[in-house]
Each structure stands twice: as structure tokens, then as C-alpha cells.
Chains A and B, each alone.
Chain A
Amino acid sequence: MLGLTKRDTALFAIVVAMVVFAPFILNPFPAASPMAQFNAGYPDLMQRFLIFGIFAIGFNILFGLTGYLSFGHAAFLGTGSYAGVWMFKLLSMNVLPAIVIAVVVAGLFSVLIGYISLRRSGIYFSILTLAFAQMSYALAYSVLTPITNGETGLQLSLNDPRILDGAAAADGSLPVPNFFGIEMRSSTELYFGGWEFTLNAGYYLCAVFMIAAFYVSIRIFRSPFGMMLRAVKSNQQRMNYTGLNSRPYTLAAFVISGMFAGLAGGLLVAMDPLAGAERMQWTRSGEVVLMTILGGMGTLIGPVLGAGLIKYLENILSKINDSILHQWFSLFPDGLSDFLVFIVHPFIGKGWNLTLGLVFMLVVIFLPGGLVQGGQKIAALFRRRKPDQPVSVKHPAE
């Protein structure tokens, strides 16, 4: 179906189903139960799952296929965000122009950076992209404050021109991003017994884009173009010796992944119309590398899983504080519970990064193929393979 093989169609269908039913899947605990803090089914986080999923899918097209490790992809996400907010300020609160412009601007920006950076490969390429991203960050943070509003972040204001629908703010309150009248914030709550599910308009808009992005990614992976990119990864020199110029391919991959990042940036501001310079910082670029490796580099679904895991840890783990820990361990005698809290404390709240680091190390050491490889191993167990038969870890990109 849709020009996909049977296996890919199945994968695609699973992703679509997961995305559509995520508000239910991610809220497994009743709202009143103490486990409810592990629920991830609220719009802000679900939107982030999808948006950073798109970001990671795009990054994977470059990193997973060509092996070019870009350390500056957050710059494209940031430029996309700024472009999107400027569309809100100048043109209209409709999210469509903002998202389109975000993709276009990020695309143009990545042509520029890609054209220069791709003259080198390997570590030199990584450093070049990192340098460009840090330059963009510094520009956004201080030099270009008239455009980016620096540390304060670019925000909407009442006296923005908004040529197409400026009159909408007549009652004196800030207009909200909408998709032809559907407000991104509007949600419908469903109640089933103790369970509460939030269906959010913004989430489903992200879902449409994410599914589209995933589809495009599958098509690229399975296309002759994707084959060329993989050839770049396996041996670029040999490719060049055979008379093929690989640079147009790598540049195309770079620009495509830059546009994906721009799309993610545009969606971020469509969900919450504010753009800050921190989005371009190198730690954010590093985050998407983590997402891709954690999930499974070069696999289709891996980056999405990695993005989900990181965003989940970031949002859920960081909200657990000591008083919650004390509740958990209240069953134990006082001394023991204090001791347990003391042990767990560094890994929660603002220490969530430490937990992420541990998870990352475990994955890299025991599952070099990422979460996807973990899934394959489990699936293999259920297929009752003989233990001596090697689990067929296919080359992830195949």
C-alpha cells in the first residue's frame, strides 16, 4: 500500500495507530491514583514526543544513512522557530504559513551551512556544523537581539501588525495560534471511570505532520536515493573513484534533514508561540544525536522511540521530588526510607540527566543497535529460536 512493501506497510500502520491512540496509550493510570504522575498523556508532552520525533527522523536521514554526524542540527530547529514566530507576528495566527516558512527558512539555512560543511567529512564535518550552530546561537542570543529578542525569547505582542487577521485581537487579549479557526490549545476531555484522556487539536496537527514525515522517511530509505546515501556511508572514497560525485547526495540529505528540523521548530512555536535562543545551543544538538543512537541509528522507528524516551525522562522524572519519594518509601522504617531517598535523590528532579546518562550507557554497551535491537531481541525470544542460532541483527538500515 502507498508504494510500500508489506513489512513497511505494517510498520507504518503500527506507527499511525500508536500516534492516533497515544492519548489513550500514554495515560494507563487512573487520574486519582498515585501512579498518575507517570502518565504522559497530556498535550504538552505528547506534542513534544511527536515534534522531537520529527526532528530525530530528519536527523536520522542524514546520520543514519550517510553516517555524517552533524552536531549543529538544533540551529535549524531554532531558525525554524524564529521564522514561525515572525510569521505569527507579521502575517497571521494561522499555523500553516508559520510552519511552511519555518521549513523553507530552515531549508535555505541548511543549504548554506551544508554547502560549506560538507566539504569535509568525519570529525571535521562534525566540528564545522558545531561551530556554525554555536555561531547561530551566539547571534540569536546577543548580536541579533532586534530579531530574536535574545535571552527573553521572541514572543507575540498586542501591537504586532498581523496583516491578515490583526483585528482578531480587538478584545485586548493575545490571539492564539490556530489552524483555520481550530485553536491549537483546544482539547476534548474524555472520562472513563477513573481514567481521563485529553484529545488535543494541536497534538493531532502534529500527528498529521509526524505521520507524513515518517512516510517520507520510509520512502527515502527505500529509494535509489537512499541507496546512494548508504553507499556514502559504507565507502565514500570508492564511490568517488567510480566516478560518482557524492556531494550532491550528501547535500540533499543534509538539506532534507534540515527541513525536518525546521518543521519541528515550526511545530514547536505553533503549539506554544515563543522562540528562545537556547533551542540552538549545542546541548540541544547533542540531544538529537542521543535520541537517534538511543533508539537505533539508521532504523526507521528508532529515532522516534529515542525521542520519546528522552522527552519522557525529561518531563516525568524531573518532576519527582523528595516529598514524592518519601511517600513511596513510607512503607519502610524511617531510617531505611531516608536512606532509600538519599540513594534515589540524585537521579530524580534536576538530576534526571544522570539517569539519562546511565540509560544511555546501558543501551550503548548492551544494545548497540538501540532500543530497536532490544525489541528485536525480545521478539526473537518469543519466536523460540534456538539459543545457539545467532539473532539476525540485520544491518539496521536494511
Chain B
Amino acid sequence: MTRSNFTRRGLLRTGAATGAGLALPTIFTGSAWSAAHSGYTNAPEGGTVTLGFNVPQTGAYADEGADELRAFQLAVEHLNGEGDGGMLQTFSEKNLDGTGILGKKVEFVTGDTATNTDTARSSARSMIEKDGVIMISGGSSSGVAVGVQALCQEAGLIFMAGLTHSNDTTGKDRRANGFRHFFNTEMSGRALAPILEANYGKDRKAYHLTADYTWGWSQEKSMRTYTEAMGWETVNTVLTPVGAGDFSSYITPVAQSGADVLILNHYGGDMVNSLTQAVQFGLKDMQANGKDFTIVVPLYSELMARGAGANIKGIFGSQNWDWKLENEKGDRYKGTNAFVQSFGTKYGFPPSQAAQTCYVQALLYADAVTRGKSFNPCSVAEALEGFEFDGMGNGPTLYRADDHQCFKDVVVVKGKEEPENEFDLVEIVDITPRDTATYPVDHPDFQGGSLGTCNPGA
């Protein structure tokens, strides 16, 4: 049964066959990216256009992902002229008339990123190759956003980042085809520092627990920069794995560390767990260095507040947007109520900031296509760069051309001491105006990358 006959002839034959095999792919090079009829990847044909919504349906950020998906579905309805139109009525541009995008009915496919860059890339690739999407949006977790953004750049699609808060998304890892509406850790730092100083003073010792990936690193760096600038001392920083579930082993040493502030650079389910455990360990009621021990959660959301329940009371953080903005802070934030209204009607509860940013991104994309009169990613990018708009709930907003980052007001919030209902968990403490939140393009935390040039694919 064994035939090891490596003859000269056999070897030659094998060699020739292997050579032929290796040469096989060259046959196809002549007509690489044959879709020459369009000039860009996945040009929509017929009466429909497909968008890809790649969100975490499993993993530590699954709650945010579910809310993002609801927002996307709502946006698609509004673009197709169903429902009450939401922010289309308040948006400062009036190009979208409910007939889809450029007269094409909007359809969408969804994918699960599993809060994992590898899975997200694979899911995005199948959207591009199988479903022929023209734009990809979504992605809680900056790791995912950075990975998918790079993929979209390579494949020649527009990426409208959803919930991604790391500086790197529009800093070191920015791409010409990627756009971010959400704010970032630098803005969080700028917004939070004065509030923390006013409430907790200049002499504090901080202990950081940080999610071990691009967003956590970025958040920790920004918080350290701003808290140390006002005199706080950083006692220790500890990296924790994403989706750890149990943080008790990380929280136990905090009490003995000599710190009097715990800064939780966690998000989503991780933050809910770590905060809950920190409170259970009695940190919130503890005295350290003669002061009340406090906890700070730099990036906050209603969803997390809902998950953490009473533990969130009195804890400061920052938000991109809040559903009570227009009611409490006035007409500057118009669009908020329109969106909350249609979201609430459809789903029965107010939207989170993740939902708002995704909804706005979808509308902004549709508007940019309409203004540029083409689905070509380069035309869309041109329409979005330097675009100034209003009426989307955040006040006047600018898409800066240099790094594709949106600049707008930042909301500083606090866990409400006495919530009136289950959705009213967060209290708006302060608004940091856009001018204060704006940082220069050459900010050192955003260096080491460049946009490159827009890639239309095909």
C-alpha cells in the first residue's frame, strides 16, 4: 500500500503541474475588478440600494448593538418615506424627501461583529462581496471600527462609524473613506476635567481600570492628561480584558492602593459589571485620604445606567447626546425630540446615544449622496468633508475635513440620585460648548496616521 516512488519523471511531472497551478491566478489579472461599468465598488443597479449595518449582536457591547440596529431600521424607514420622518424634518439640509436615496429604495443587510475585530471584518467582507453593499455603518467598539474602516478603505466603500470613542479612529488610524460622528476621548477629557475639579478638588489620587484595547488605552491617556494637568496624581493603571465578566480580582486591590478616585475606563456590559462590583465592594461608601471615595465613568450611556441600576447614582461621565437634551437645554438641540418621538413610538422607550449617532450617520450619508448626486465614495467623501449642519440633536456640527471627525457640544452627565422612572437615570450636569471641545488637527494624541486618498474601489 506504500508507494514511495520519487522518480525523476514523477518529480518533473509534479513540478510542471505545480508550476501550472501557480500560474493559474495570472489568467485573471487582466480583468481585475471587472466591474468597469460603474467606476466604483458595488455601484447600485436597479431601483434599490443596499446598506450594510455591522453591529455587535453578541458580546460585551450587545445591548448597544441592538439599539444601533433599531436606529438603523428607523433611519431606513424614514429615508424610504415611511413613519413620521424623524429628524428629516429638523435637519438643516432639505434634500431628503422620503423617496429613498437618489430615488432608489433603501434596503439593508445586518451582520454580527460579536464585539470582535476578526469577526467584524469577516462579516463586513461578506456584506461587500455577497450582498453588494455600498456603505457600511455601525460597530460598537473602536477596535472593530478601526478594523472595518481599514477594510472599507481597501475595498472602496464609505464607512460611517457608529459607536467608537477612541481617538485612534480619527487619529492614528483615520482613513479617507471613514467618517465619525461620535465624539472621542480627547473631547471627553476636555469636558469632564472642569467638572471633576469643581466637585472633587485638585488634590486627588486616581486609580484607573482600563479596557485592554484601543479605546481603553485612548480613554485612559486622555483622562490622565487632563486629570494630571489639574493636579491629580495617578496611583496605578490596570488593564482588564474586554468581556471579562468578573472584575473582582481587579477591584480588590483598589481599596488598599491609597487612591481616592476610581476611574473606570470600561464600556457596555463590562462597565455595568465592574461598577456593580466596585459598589458591592463598598468603594462608594469608603473614606480614603480623608475624602469620600468616588468613582468616575468617563464614557456613559443610558443603556449602561439601566444595566447598573442604583449603582450609577452620583457618578460623573460624558455623553455624545442624551434624549432629554432639547427639553432641558432648549432649542439649540432641535431634532432630539423629533427623533425620540419616532423612536419611542416604534420601540416604546427612548433611544440611547448609540442609537442617535447611528441614525444620524445613516441620514448624513444619504444626504451626502444626494448632494453629490452620486453613490461614488469619493463624491460622498467630498460632500461630507467640511460639512456644517444642524438640527440633528447635537446643535451646530462640523465634519472637519482634515480628520473626518465631527465637532459638536459634549454633554457632561451624572447618575441621577432620585430617578423618576426607569428611563430617567441620567441627569445633564453641563454642556461643554463645541469651541472648547475642539482640538487642533495637530494634537499630539492624534498623530501617526494620515487619511490617504479616497478610494472608490473598482
Contact = CB atoms under 8 A, between A and B. Distances in A.
Interface of A: 1-5, 39, 42-45, 48, 141-142, 145, 150-153, 155-159, 171-174, 176, 179, 181-183, 185-189, 198-201, 204-205, 207-208, 211-212, 222-224, 227, 272, 274, 276, 278-279, 315, 318-319, 321, 349-350
9 contacts: A3-B3, A42-B129, A44-B129, A45-B130, A48-B122, A152-B147, A172-B450, A172-B451, A319-B111
Contact of B126 (A1, A44, A205): A44
Contact of A201 (B25, B146, B153): B25
B292 interface: no
Nearest to B454: A173
B150 A151 contact: no
Q: Which 5 A-B pairs have the closest CB atoms?
A: A186-B32, A151-B213, A172-B452, A276-B118, A42-B129
A2 B13 contact: yes
Interface string B53-87: 00001100000000000000000000000000000
A330 B367 CA distance: 34
Contacts of B147: 152-153, 155, 274
Interface stretch (B14-22, B261-269, B394-402, B435-443): B14-22
A173 B18 contact: no
Given A44-B129, A151-B143, 7 more contacts: A2-B10, A141-B241, A142-B241, A172-B452, A179-B25, A204-B28, A278-B118
Interface of B: 1-6, 10, 13-14, 17-18, 21-22, 24-26, 28-29, 31-35, 57-58, 109-112, 116-119, 121-122, 125-126, 129-130, 142-143, 146-147, 150-151, 153-155, 172-173, 176, 212-214, 239, 241-242, 448-453, 455
Contacts of A159: 448-449
B154 A171 contact: no
A205 B25 contact: yes
Nearest to A172: B452
A3 B450 CA distance: 54
Contacts of B173: 155, 157
A2 B16 CA distance: 11
A182 B154 contact: no
Contacts of A151: 117, 143, 212-214, 241-242
B2 A224 contact: yes
Contacts of A5: 1, 3
A212 B19 CA distance: 12
Given A151-B143, A182-B29, A350 B125 contact: no
A218 to B, nearest CB: 11
Contact of A321 (B24, B110, B151): B110
A211 B21 contact: yes
B2 A222 contact: yes
Given A3-B5, A142-B241, A272-B125, A150 B212 contact: yes
Contacts of B126: 42, 44-45, 315, 319
Contact of A223 (B4, B32, B153): B4
A114 B186 CA distance: 47
A185 B117 contact: no
B32 A183 contact: yes
A222 B2 CA distance: 5
A182 B33 CA distance: 12
A33 to B, nearest CB: 14
B32 A187 contact: yes
A201 B29 contact: yes
B155 A185 contact: yes
Of A1, A48, A173, A274, chain B has the most CB atoms within 10 Å of the CB of A173
A179 B26 CA distance: 9
B455 A173 contact: yes
